Amino acid sequence: MQPKASIRLKITVPYLFLSIVTAISLGVVTVKVILENVEERFNNQLLETSTIAAVQMVREEDRLLETLRTLANVEGIDQTILENDADKLRDTTFGIVVNAQEEIVDMLDMDGNLILSMRHKSGGNLEEYEYLRGGLAVYQNWPFVNKVLNGEVDEEGNKFSGYVETDWGNYFYVAGPVFDKENTHQIGVILVGKSLDTLVQEIRAKTLGQITLYAESGEILSSTFLEPQRISVTLAQQTLSIQDQQSYRRDPPQREQNFEGLSYSELLGPWEIRDKTDIGVIGVSLAKNVLITTSLATRMVIIALLSLFILFIILVGTNLAQVITTPILALVNASKEVARGDLTVRVDPTTHDEVALLTQNFNTMVSNLEKSQQDLVEAYDSTLRGWSQALELKDSETEGHTHRVTDLTVEFARSYGIPESEIVHIRRGAILHDIGKMGVPDEILLKPGKLTEEEWKIMRQHPVYAYNMLKNIEYLAPALDIPYCHHEKWDGSGYPRGLAGEEIPLAARLFSIVDAWDAMTSTRPYRKGMSEPLTQRTIVSERGSRFDPALVDFFMKFLSSKMKNSKKTK
C-alpha cells in the first residue's frame, strides 16, 4: 500500500506556517525593541540580572546539598567509609555522582584524611572521572570542613560550605557528615564541589551577564571576562558592610569598566552561603551599548503576541502529536508484547502513510514468527514423543503408560490451577519422565525376575541419567523437575536426592501421584491391575509418607469430579 501523505509532509506544512507567524511576530518585536532604549530600564535590567545571579548561587548550593544528602544516605556507605575501602566507595556512589553531573566529590575519614576523590575530567564525557585514593591531608585546614569534623551545628543544620583555592583549582564546596547505621556516631565527611570557573559560566548562561567572583580582599577568584579587573579592598568591604542598609537597596555599589570596545556597568553584591555568611563579592556586568529593553506598552504587545503564539502552538502541536504518535505508540506497545513472548498480538493500521506500511510489515513479521515458533515447538514435541515411544518399544510392559500419565497429569495440573505457561513444561516432563531408563543396561531394564540390590542401585540412577541427558538442553530445562524428582517421597525416603516435603518440586509431587495411579490400575504381564477404589485407598494410605497430603486430597476430589463428568457424558 502506497502512503497517501508522508509523515514529513504532515510535520513540514504546519511548522512552515508556524515559522511564518514567528518571523512576523519577531519582526514586530524587533522594530519595537530597536526604537526603545532607556538608561533607567538598563539599570533595572542590571538589578534584575544581579538578583537572578544571587538566586542561582543559592540554587546551586542547594543542589550540591541535595547530592550530598543522597550520598550520605546510600546504603552501606557508613561501613565502606569505616573500612577505608576506596574501590567499594567508588562503586557504591559513582552512579549518583554521574547522574548529578558533579565535578568533584571528596570523601574523608574522621581525621580529615582523604579516602576517595572523584574528579570529572575536563572536556571528558559525563562518566569520565579521575580517582584519587588517600594521600591528601589538606582538608583539615579548611574552616568549613573543620566545623563538620568537630560536629558543629548551626541554625541551618550540620552542613557547611565555602570556597577554597587548591592545587587542583578554585572550588566551591558543600561539606556534611556521614553517620553510622544507627545515626548515633559520625564516621566521616563528604564534600561535593564545583569549580568557580564552571559556576560563573553557568550563571552567565542563566543571566546573559558577565559574572565575576571576588575575594573579600577584592582579588579575582573567577570571571567570565577574559581580562577581568579586580576591585579595591575598600569597595569590596563597602559592598559587604552596607548590604543590610536601605541605601544599598536604593543604590547598590556599581562601577563602570571597558572591555574590547564595549562599555560595561557592573553591579556588586555580597556572595553569601547558606548560613548567611559572606565569603566574597559577586559582580554582574551588562554591556550598556548592546542591551536593549522595552517600554511597558511594548512588553504588553510582546506578551500578547507570545501568548497567542504559544496557545496556537499548543493547539496545533497537541493535535499533530496525537495524530502522529497514536499509531506509533500502538506499534511500540505491540512490540513490547512480542518481546514478552506474545506472538498473537496484531496492530490495526489507522493511517495511510509510512506508519501504515510499517504496521503491515510488523503484523506479517509477527505472523511469520508465530508460525516458525509453532513449527519449531511441534518439531521439538514430536522428537520428545519419539524418544518416549522408543523407550516403550524397548520396555513393552509399560506400553501406553507415558501417553496416559501425560494426559492425566496435564488434566490434574489444570484442575489444580497451575498456569498454562507452566503446564507446557509439565507435559514435556511427563513425556520424558522415564527417559533416564535409556541409560540403564537392557539386562537390568528387561530382566523378567526380581532385581538384586546392586541392580536396583543402577535402576535408581535413571532420574540422574535423565537430568544429565537434558540439563544442557535449554528448551527442556524447565521440564526437568518431573524426570529428575518423580521418585522423591514426601517423607524424604525417595531417590535420587532424598528430598522431603516442599523441597520436592510441585510438578514432581503432582506427577508421582498420577504415575502411581496408572501403575496400580494398569494390567501388566506379571499381574492384573488393581481396581480404582482399591488404588484410591492405597494412595490415601501413603499420604504424608510417599505423597504430598494436600495433593492426595485434591487428587481424590479431582477423580471424583472426573468420574461424575464421565457418567454425565455417557
Q: Please report, for the domain that includes residue 76, its CATH number.
A: 3.30.450.20
How many folded domains does the chain comprise?
Answer: 2
| pLDDT for residue 17 | 67
Beta bridge partners of 210: 285
Rounded Cα distance between 280 and 221, Å, is 9
Residue with cell 538589578: 47
Helix (H) or strand (E) holding 267: strand 262-272
| pLDDT for residue 250 | 61
Rounded Cα distance between 397 and 527, Å, is 11
| pLDDT for residue 256 | 83
Sheet of 278-287, strand order? 220-223, 210-214, 278-287, 262-272, 254-259
Question: How far apart, in Å, are the Cα atoms of 16 and each of 12, 13, 176, 316?
Answer: 6, 5, 53, 12
In a domain, 551, yes or no: yes
In a domain, 231, yes or no: no
Domain end call among 198, 233, 265: 198
Domain span at 522: 395-569
CATH of residue 561: 1.10.3210.10
In a domain, 263, yes or no: no
| pLDDT for residue 513 | 95
| pLDDT for residue 38 | 46
Under 8 Å between Cβ of 373 and 393: no
In a domain, 119, yes or no: yes
In a domain, 11, yes or no: no
Question: How far apart, in Å, are the Cα atoms of 174 and each of 107, 220, 493?
Answer: 12, 21, 66
Domain end call among 198, 228, 256: 198
Distance of CA 195 to the CA centre of its chain: 30
Under 8 Å between Cβ of 190 and 145: no
What are the DSSP E strand ranges found in 31-153? 104-108, 114-120, 129-132
In a domain, 168, yes or no: yes
Rounded Cα distance between 224 and 60, Å, is 17
Rounded Cα distance between 419 and 421, Å, is 5
Domain end call among 140, 163, 198: 198
In a domain, 457, yes or no: yes
Helix (H) or strand (E) holding 172: strand 169-179
Per-residue pLDDT of the chain (570 residues; tens, 9 = 90+): 555 555 555 665 665 566 667 756 665 665 555 545 445 666 667 677 777 777 888 888 899 999 999 999 999 898 999 999 999 999 999 999 999 999 999 999 998 899 999 999 988 898 899 999 887 778 888 999 999 999 998 888 889 988 898 888 899 999 999 999 888 899 999 999 999 999 899 888 888 888 899 988 889 989 988 888 888 888 888 888 876 665 555 667 878 887 777 788 888 888 888 767 888 888 888 887 554 444 556 567 667 776 776 677 666 666 665 677 677 777 778 778 777 767 777 878 877 777 777 777 877 887 777 666 555 556 555 665 566 555 555 555 455 788 889 999 999 999 999 999 899 999 989 988 888 888 888 888 778 778 889 999 998 999 999 899 888 888 788 889 999 999 999 999 999 999 999 999 999 999 999 999 998 988 766 668 789 899 999 999 999 999 999 999 999 999 988 877 766 655
| pLDDT for residue 342 | 72
Which of 513, 526, 531, 512 has the alpha carbon at shortest distance from 397? 526
In a domain, 335, yes or no: no
